[in-house]
Structure 1
Amino acid sequence: MNPKTLSHWLAHIERLHPTVIDMGLERVHAVKRALGLAPSFPVIIVGGTNGKGSTCAMLEAILAEAGYRVGCYTSPHLLRYHERVRIDRREASDRELRESFAEVERARGDLALTYFEFGTLAAMTLFVQTGVDVAILEVGLGGRLDAVNAFDADCAIVTSVDIDHVAYLGDTREAIGFEKAGIFRGGKPAICADAVPPESLRAHAASIGADLREIGRDFGYDTRRLNWRFQRSGADAVVLPYPRLRGAFQLSNASAAIAALDALHDRLPVPESALRSGLLNATVAGRFQILRHAPSVIVDVAHNPHAATALAHNLECSKTGGRTTAVFAMLADKDIEAVIGVLKGRIDKWLVADIHEPRGATAAHLTQALRVQGVDAPIDEFATPALAYRHALANVDSANDRIVVFGSFHTVADVLREEATSPARLTRQQPAASHACA
């Protein structure tokens, strides 16, 4: 098997395994051994229900500003697979991805890896071959049985614990907390940025002898009008600029990233200047990202109740005085009614759309869920999020109105593709002037 193009490779690895998700580490460990993957550089693994991507982005930016060659592996991507694999804040090229895929293909033999397993091994192969100074790996699902957990974390971060992926992780915070704590390692720093961590997470950390550091106990933050302070336990606070990434919850993510870097200071010393510049330069698409102004267009991949709560809070903190129209589409196996329940008071009109994926909810399903939740605002149905977005742009009443696109990575990706072909230029996401609502 020798695909000639990246698209052929991606089609090939999608077909290898009969299911998209097959939890377990046996296959990954076997191919890892065959590849001889034994990274000598520090590995930071980032898990959690929400906030993983933002935390990875801040770690990546800060470490790059400190002069390190950083490998970063995240998922899912919005528009291009290349987004998942970055070195020195540059997306991997077609050639680099093809060559690393070929290495995994040769090593796997008859083992049928999942798409994510194959991609994880390929990313680490590339990081080892290019000699990065540090690798940041984002958990795909859960933690304990996720493919990135085949690699031992020199520092592990759990950003938050909430209900999501119940079919795989359980339907309680205690069950999910145990799964996420699986990325911790004995004798290694384990950072938890959840303000009320499940006891299962604490118990697992204690049982393996991990160095658990909790927000609110071992580190924390407080806010001011023009800046914020990161507080180390028993040390002076560090005054820092607000992150370029918008949203009140980003301070929790930033604190987790800094706590992790503190824990790795002996191997990866980072000056305070790099903290400042990294926070100001870190970006990640689809997280309360502002595409346009007057009217404002905001895209957010919020797809579970916890993320919807953050989105609702951010919308409340950035009122425009006009009407808010939602472009809304979700996957059917998510908690659609709970997401609606959190956001329904912030939306004046709903434009719901089909997602043309096997797990996608139909617009009719979303309309029914909205009515069950007591939404009496106008609802229109569309075949795709892009069509809903076009309608929203064409029916804006004033420059003070806003359009909020949310519900899924698929939803945001469809609108970003539509926006990319629009004659109107995208507005670069700007740093927030104030996080007074934090």
Structure 2
Amino acid sequence: MRPPVAPNNKQIDGFSRLTKAERRQWLLENFLPAAQAGVLPAFDAANVGWQGVLDKFSENTVANFPLPFGVAPNFVVNGRTYAVPMVIEESSVVAAASAAAKYWMTRGGFRAEVLASEKLGQLHFRWSGRPERRASLLSGLCTRVSAQTDHLTARMEERGGGVRGLTWKHLPEVAPDCYQLLVRFGTADSMGANFINTILEAYGRALESWAAECPELADDERDLEVIMAILSNHTPNCVVRAWVSCPIEQMNIPGSGVDAADFARRFQYAVEIARQDPYRAVTHNKGIMNGVDAVVLATGNDFRAIEAATHAFAAQDGQYRGLSRCRVVDGHFHFELTLPLAIGTVGGLTRLHPMASVALDLLGQPTAEELMCVMAAAGLAQNFAALRSLVTTGIQRGHMKMHLQNILSSLAATEAERRAAEAFFAGQTVSHFGVRSFLEGLRG
């Protein structure tokens, strides 16, 4: 039975309790034009079993939102060749990453290393005790909360993870009685959000019982209230570095009109601009994340968490900066990228989403650290490709070549018209007006 709706028919109670068909019908009756009636079901998965899995990923689902699943071949990372899966809708990203990968394939490939792999969680609480008492009480508190969670951490410890350490912090800038337990975790090949949050909530219960029962506490120190327990997506201790390097004489860019030495000089100059100018840095880092996020999405990881952590990392010294660095020393070109990547290859969507499973198979079922290296290499490749265009031919030449296909699609071009347009606009500036005028000429 359909739940009651408000008189204006635009508001509804119990939308989540409707079937998918009923949700679609309600949207058509109240928000969508009739012409959209066939669009929502058109994107249902042909495999009914897959559709049932997809529907359970989120709430109030009414359709799927397909994105292109592309592959960038020829990525050599730490001596191993990968075909890198990328899910992204932006024109030219996969092509640019592929071109950069092929370029560096003959120049030693990408190198990458994981510098640290700890994740963080926070337990915030009010406590009536004196701040200077923390040091003497911390050891006993750690022993107590750890004992309460041994059964929860045992399996993670078998895989090489677990709780790595605990810091008791005072936060007087919030309130005089505000404190935090900052907990460091290893989560092996899982991203670890559920594990971290489960442990933190157990710590909260242990903390409350500690305040009530600890013989070392005075009566005026027993007022303790847990405010919240949650992982932090700021992951400065879960960091990977990727780099490429070769002699300058190998840095030839065919067709650019710029010699190798001049290209290296201009490239280094562009990277330094992004290091110092926040306006350029934001765009510079967005280009890096074009490559990173595409692999994050393809493998079923959380791109929102990755984005938040990355931009915090870019501003860690108080100014927002470009994440990559370049140096040219003694005739050698070196380009590198360091960024935080808290990702997993087990658990969550990495196993539930059928295409995420395909992506991980493409990559040879990597460990979390191996996947961090591939993602960082994809980000560096994308950054290299963008800067190579910027300091030589300009960004629009390649971008608009790819964008031509989107314009032709929006104008319902036939295959014959597409071929004619591609030939006509080869080497010319592409614009929506220009493409439309060309098609109008073809169509008489």
| Bucket of the pairwise TM-score, normalised by the shorter protein | under 0.3
Which structure exhibits the higher relative contact order, with contacts defined as CA atoms closer than 8 Å and separated by 6 or more residues?
A: 2
TM-score (norm 2): 0.21
TM-score (norm 1): 0.22
Q: Which has the higher helix share?
A: 2
